[in-house]
Amino acid sequence: MPSQLYDFVVVANRLPVDKVGTTDDGEPLYETSPGGLVTALAPVMRSQHGAWVGWAGAPDEAGDAFDSDGMHLVPVELSAQEIEDYYEGMANGTLWPLFHDVIAAPEYHRHWWDAYAKVNRRFAEAAAAQAAEGATVWVQDYQLLLVPMMLREQRPDLRIGFFNHIPFPGYEIFSQLPWRKRVVEGVLGADLVGFQRRSDATNFLRACRRAAGATTRGSHVHVGHGEGRRTVHAAPFPISIDARGFEALASDPAVIERAAQVRTELGDPDAILLGVDRLDYTKGIRHRLSTFKELLEDGALGDKRVVLVQVASPSRERVKAYADLRDEVELIVGRLNGDHGTVGWQPVHYLHQSFPRDEMAALYLAADAMLVTALRDGMNLVAKEYVAARHDDDGVLVLSEFAGAADELHQAVLVNPHDIDGTKGAIVEALGMPKAERRRRMRALRRRVREHDVERWARDFLGALQDGAHAHDEEPAG
Ligand code: F6P
């Protein structure tokens, strides 16, 4: 039992840290990393005396809990085999593709499921050991779907929230999962279940009825019997970014100067298109490249010299579908540049790297149009970062209707990325849009993102969890 207990506990697959070395005794040394979730939760963690339970990102390394930036961080240890079966297997080889509408084929392996349940139990036990009597515990995402119920069984005194950062699929797809009932029951250990879009909450409510035989009324799910009867709320709470922080970063003169330099380094093209994604098959990178290729080939861009900068940050590289995607994307980029480049000029600048936030802000400022053309995406925070960065009220966001952000960012040019002709038209429209129209749209987008930032997301969710009510939920979700 730890010497101190915490009133607010976040449980996420990853700790918000990067390993920066080891101590003289061989203990790992960590530094907190500036992710969106930690930005949102750090103030709550500090004011409410919070602990964060998560994996430190490397095998067989846990080390002792430690304090950093006013937060208490509790590493959960995973063996190399558990990383393979729980993280790469069940989380990213089964649940990720299943929840993203089977864009890649999910694999169902019983030993992956067993590892997933075992690791979820470890997270639940670690959280239970940190939480004070009556504490609030907020469990994050699809890697930990069983944690809410495991936690409730150990600690019925806790107030438990769960937030699903990725889409929740329709029942026709979800029902493929051999462990569908256990997953739904796992999530229903929470008092409040948050989703990115209303449609995700609706899909979940249907899964509660069909897979677990629960009764629902509007967005309430009734679980248990007699004295154990409880009501769980399922509602949308769209996540966001630290909009003011991002705007401030993009307003830094060094970033503005870097944006101009990027343009020069790209050969001063007439227009810059930008894609920024983890290298993931859900992001529609192949479709985007095919669309751009056709635009170059059929002359729809006229005599404009247009480049596409595609940042594809390395992700889940040991999962086969990701390794295959990298090969395919790099083949397409190589062919495209081979066919359409000249000495000193290439149409696609492909960067298989992660960049610091200030370099990203400079790229956003330099881009005439941002292409967020995911085939399926829970939210897509890149779309919101682009908008927050554009303090000059310029630039056009081309946004997939299959990204959660499309529910909020109505002034973007919305596309169906499967429709190559439609997406080509949208890019041509974006590049030809009059300045006044760009400004009108960008101002409205910026207002939305500024007013609905990540701090508000956390406040709304935690407020609703405390109230036992649910925000943004006037209409019954059916
Ligand atoms: O979008 C879901 C998510 O798990 C994010 O929380 C995370 O930043 C991203 O995918 C990368 O995931 P991973 O932890 O697998 O690298």
Q: For 450-478, what is the mean pLDDT?
A: 75
Q: Give the whole-angstrom CA distance, residue 35 versus residue 67.
A: 17
Q: For 399-420, what is the mean pLDDT?
A: 98
The percent of residues above 90 in pLDDT, for the chain, comes to 85
Is 459 a residue whose pLDDT tops 60? yes
In the chain, the amino acid numbered 88 is E
Q: Give the whole-angstrom CA distance, residue 301 versus residue 298.
A: 8
As a whole number of Å, the CA-based R_g of the chain is: 23
pLDDT at 41: 81
Q: Which long-range contacts (CB under 8 A, 24 or more apart) does 41-46 make?
A: 41/10, 41/138, 41/458, 42/69, 42/70, 42/71, 43/455, 44/8, 44/458, 44/462, 45/8, 45/10, 45/70, 45/71, 46/70, 46/71
Atom of ligand 1 nearest to the CA of 140: 6
Q: What is the mean pLDDT of the chain?
A: 93
Ligand 1: lining residues by beta carbon, under 6 Å:
13-14, 141, 165-166, 315-316, 378
pLDDT band at residue 474 under the 50/70/90 scheme? very low
Beta bridge partners of 234: 193
pTM: 0.94
Q: Mark whether 377 is an active-site residue.
A: yes
Is 217 a residue whose pLDDT tops 50? yes
* Ligand 1 atom 6 nearest Cα: 165
Q: Measure 436 CA to ligand 1 centroid, in angstroms.
A: 37
Q: Give the whole-angstrom CA distance, residue 113 versus residue 102.
A: 18
pLDDT band at residue 34 under the 50/70/90 scheme? low
pLDDT at 174: 98
Helix axes 285-297, 420-432, angle to 10 degrees: 70
**8 A C-beta contact, residue 285 and residue 393:** no
pLDDT band at residue 478 under the 50/70/90 scheme? very low
pLDDT band at residue 177 under the 50/70/90 scheme? very high
pLDDT band at residue 292 under the 50/70/90 scheme? very high
**For residue 200, how far is the Cα from the chain centroid?**
14
Lowest mean pLDDT among 18-22, 252-256, 392-396: 18-22
Is 473 a residue whose pLDDT tops 70? no
pLDDT at 429: 98
